[in-house]
Amino acid sequence: MISSKMKVVLPSSLENFFQESGYCNPTFFEDRSSARIKLRCEATMIIEQGLASISRVESNYVVLIKDISRRGVSILSHEQIWPEELIYVHFQNRELRAKVVRCRRLGPSCYECGAQIFYFKKIDSNFGE
């Protein structure tokens, strides 16, 4: 279920976004060290360290996770996130921190951003009880 805070507008090329699951088939030219899994879910994202030359109105975002691997994550955001920015993403009782390495525009309010994960943790829901 998509929250009312979601600002990402999926382009028509992603009309089956939520029906897709499983492993992502690599293309001939990809040189990946880990397999990607399609993980279609909503997440919250905070830009922990942005670029000094970019001023942002907001720092908290509701994004969609497109896929994830042992070393990276692909998210869909309504706003462009720039390479070298550090992000914190929270989803499904998990949190990760990553450095954005690429971002491309898919539509008017849809940017696909790839980030290299440097911290990943499953959050214990019973912690502190």
pLDDT at site 81 = 94
For the question of whether the overall pTM of this predicted structure is more than 0.95, the answer is no
pLDDT at site 95 = 95
pLDDT tens for each residue of 95-106: 999 999 999 999
Quickly state the pLDDT bin for 18 (edges 50, 70, 90): confident
Q: How would you label 79-112 residue by residue, b for 16+ Cβ within 10 Å and e otherwise?
A: bebeeebebbbebeeebbbbbbeebeeebeebbb
- The DSSP code sequence of 58-115 is -SEEEEEEEEE-SSEEEEEESS---TT-EEEEEETTEEEEEEEEEEEEEETTEEEEEE
